[in-house]
A = this chain, B = another copy of it.
Amino acid sequence: MPPSHDPQLLKGVLSLVLLQLLAERESYGYEVVQRLHEVGLTDVLEGTVYPALSRLEREGRVSARLVSSNSGPARKYYRPTPAGYDALTTGAASWSSLAALVEGVLTRPVPTEPLQGD
């Protein structure tokens, strides 16, 4: 089965979705991957999520704290910083307007596909 989405389409959006999930509830990487799968992003892999979280931390959009677990190694819990909340608000807005614009263009009628070759 092919991936349910073009990897490229996820670019930029993933970090926004991550911020949203963390704003809803503090979470750690492994769990975030599961939550992504639950919302329908079933193809997103650990190798995508962990670097994205590190990036967000490096950019000051999330903060992290280590919490030891009784069912495995310590977990790194993330939640948005104030800057992260800002980024989520403005990012979601610009995503929305771009998505609406694109949706508008992609649903315009096209003339019947001509037979190729004159």
Q: Is A92 an interface residue (CB 8 A)?
A: yes
* Complex interface bits, A95-114 against B, C-beta within 8 A gives 1, otherwise 0: 11111011111111011010
A94 touches B4 (CB 8 A): yes
B101 touches A96 (CB 8 A): no
- Residue of chain B at shortest CB distance from A11: B11
Known: A24-B111, A82-B113, A111-B24. A9 touches B98 (CB 8 A): yes
Q: Is A76 an interface residue (CB 8 A)?
A: no
B102 touches A13 (CB 8 A): yes
Known: A9-B11, A13-B102. A23 touches B95 (CB 8 A): no
Not counting A9-B13, A9-B95, A16-B102, a sample of 5 additional A-B residue pairs whose C-beta atoms are within 8 angstroms of each other reads A6-B91, A17-B106, A21-B105, A39-B101, A63-B116
